[in-house]
Amino acid sequence: MTTPQSWEARAEEYSLYGFTDMPSVHQRGTVVLTHGEGPYVFDTNGKRYLDSNSGLWNMVAGFDHKGLTEAAKAQYDRFPGYHSFFGRMSDQTVMLSEKLIEVSPFDRGRVFYTNSGSEANDTMVKILWFLHGSEGNPKKRKILTRWNAYHGVTAVSASMTGKPYNEVFGLPLPGFIHLTCPHYWRFGAADETEAAFVQRLARELDETIQREGADTIAGFFAEPVMGAGGVIPPAKGYFQAIQPILKKYGIPLIADEVICGFGRTGNTWGSQTYDFTPDAIISSKNLTAGYFPMGAVILGPDLADRVQDAVEKIEEFPHGFTASGHPVGCAIALKAIDVVMNEGLAENVKRLAPRFEAGLQELAKNPNIGEYRGVGFMWALEAVKDKPTKLPFDASLSVSERIANTCTDHGLICRPLGQSIVLCPAFIMTEGQMDEMFEKLEQALKQVFAEVA
């Protein structure tokens, strides 16, 4: 067998790609990266790219933050690894749990650690099943989410994810129910006001609970802003309409803040941005600013007390991961929270968010941009063939993939999602870098729309 020589050939020969457009890989090759500086990354050919996706939403402090790497090095020297089983955990784990409750919307609670947001959502489902079974309600197992939501890739969290690509795995599993996506621009009826659209979704939720039976529903999971669904903020008043219904039936509301949490929407939590208090929060990504794989389930006071009672009944919570509460990850997370909240990153998001929106508003004047949407430092542009009717391009044209590939040619990394282009840069982005992002994106849009429109 002849060994491939180039980085691109070696990647394609030995790697199984996740969420990757394979025709693009076969035609263009893999971009193999070597290092980063600030919000930029560099490939094996020395080409520099402005990463407006901040890795995968998570590298919010950039790719070379000395404080974060030093925190990791110091903890590796001090105590390089441990678990959180059998009544033992590191001091960093204890301190991080204290910090997470301190910065959460809760006055008290409990934290459980995982290695990713997918595992955290999976764990939260198991917690709900465990809790309801302990309280004498073993039928309360159904999980409510929304179409176009993204909650992860484990069998359970993928079942929660309302995306058709999971059908290739035979998912969702039974008992996972997807409600209407709260995207008014796309799913509102022609003569329907935004308020009427919200009331329709609230009625759908109430009717679904009555049809399925409140005594069979374990919880409702929702991203404050749908991230991997294409950056979809909720219709105005959505959470205020649905939360009273959930409370009426005693169904916990779980905020999946994997993407929104720690500053992405302009506040510490997306639930703060949209003015609701969940019963629990799922955190990951920005929790460690991308410098360590970690997720967390943050239980509010009611669920924390009830789960602890369930644990006491059987004398343990039979769940966990080898690296749950890893001391290095916790040390990095403590530093990352400090960096975002106290080094000006959160303030920079608030300061530049209006400039971000203004730049997108200008790009949206293009006749093939149907909508721009988002909040804080997470936005999307939706490509359309016909703006008045919102008619999308034929899927065979792969318009968003073309735009993203053309951006890459110009030294800009952005993300295609459906027919949208997503921009979610690092919180350290400067005004000049934002201008660079918009200039390169505008060039790509003009080039691609000239080819397909």
Final residue in a domain of this structure, among 296, 312, 342:
342
What's the total number of domains in the chain? Answer: 2
User: Strands, E, within 288-352: which ranges?
Assistant: 295-299
DSSP 3: P
Backbone φ, ψ for residue 397 (5° rounding):
-80, -15
Backbone angles phi, psi at 340, to 5 degrees: -65, -45
* Per-residue confidence (pLDDT) for residue 312, from 0 to 100: 97
Assess whether 56 and 72 both reside in one domain. no
Q: Give the range of the structural domain holding residue 194, as residue numbers without chain letter.
A: 68-342
pLDDT score recorded for residue 335: 98
CA trace torsion 262, 266, 268, 271 (10° rounding): -110
Rounded-to-10 torsion of CA 128, 134, 137, 140:
20
Which among 232, 149, 222, 229 has a CA at the least distance from the CA of 185?
232
Per-residue pLDDT tens digits for 151-177: 999 999 999 999 999 999 999 999 999
* CA angle centred on 227, ends 221 and 228, rounded to 5°: 100
Q: Which residues contact residue 439 at a Cβ distance below 8 angstroms, ignoring those fewer than 6 apart?
A: none
Strand locations in 249-365 (E) = 253-256, 280-283, 295-299
SS3 assignment, position 394? coil
pTM of the model: 0.96
Indicate the residue among 342, 358, 381 that finishes a domain. 342
| 2 domain-assigned | no
Domain boundary residue, one of 342, 375, 399: 342
Q: How far is it, in rounded angstroms, from Cα 424 to Cα 18?
A: 20
288: nearest Cα among 115, 110, 46: 115
Distance from C-alpha of 235 to C-alpha of 196, rounded to nearest angstrom: 10
List all residues 6 or more positions away from 316 whose beta carbon is below 8 Å from its beta carbon: none
Check whether residue 55 and residue 108 sit in a common domain.
Answer: no
User: Phi first, then psi: what are they for 414, rounded to 5°?
Assistant: -140, 175
Based on the fold, state whether residues 355 and 421 are members of the same structural domain.
Answer: yes
Q: What is the pLDDT of residue 2?
A: 63
By residue count, the chain amounts to: 453
Instruction: Give the C-alpha distances (Å, rounded to integers) separating 70 from 13, 99, 385.
Output: 35, 20, 49
Helix, strand, coil % (nearest 5) of the chain?
Answer: 45, 15, 40
CA separation for the pair 326, 233 (Å, rounded): 33
Q: Please report where in the chains the tokens 């991308």 appear, as a residue.
A: 290
Within-domain flag for 291: yes
In a domain, 9, yes or no: no
User: Has residue 25 been placed in a domain?
Assistant: no
251 φ, ψ to 5°? -105, 120
pLDDT at 1: 55
pLDDT of residue 5: 87
Paired tokens of 192: 């329907």
Low-confidence ranges of the chain (pLDDT < 70): 1-2
Q: Please indicate, yes or no, whether residues 382 and 397 belong to a single structural domain of this protein.
A: yes
Q: How many CB atoms lie within 10 A of CB 198?
A: 23
In a domain, 18, yes or no: no
Q: Could you tell me if 102 and 238 lie in one domain?
A: yes
What is the residue type of 346?
A
Query: Is the residue at 44 inside a domain?
Result: yes
78 and 50 within one domain: no
CA distance 253 to 144: 10
CA 358 to chain centre: 24
Q: Does a structural domain hold residue 7?
A: no
Please indicate, yes or no, whether residues 176 and 307 belong to a single structural domain of this protein.
Answer: yes
- Among 377, 356, 357, smallest CA distance to 60 is for 377
171 and 319 housed in the same domain: yes
258 and 394 part of one domain: no
Amino acid sitting at position 321: F
pLDDT at 453: 76
- Alpha-carbon distances, residue 344 vs 155, 167, 280, 424 (angstroms): 38, 43, 27, 18
Q: Which residues pair with 162 in a beta bridge?
A: 147
Enter the DSSP assignment of 386: B
Report how far residue 160's alpha carbon sits from residue 165's, in angstroms, rounded to the nearest whole number. Answer: 13
Most distant pair of Cα atoms in the chain: their distance: 66
What is the C-alpha to C-alpha distance for residues 381 and 418, in angstroms, rounded to an integer? 11
Is residue 331 located within the same domain as residue 351?
A: no
Q: What is the CATH number of the domain that holds 370?
A: 3.90.1150.10
CA dihedral 6, 9, 15, 21 (to 10 degrees): 120
d(CA 92, CA 330): 6
What CATH number should be reported for the domain holding residue 251? 3.40.640.10
What is d(CA 289, CA 272) in angstroms, rounded to the nearest whole number?
20
Identify whether residues 323 and 382 lie together within a single domain: no
Same domain, 77 and 131: yes
The DSSP call for residue 182 is -
16 in a domain, yes or no?
Answer: no
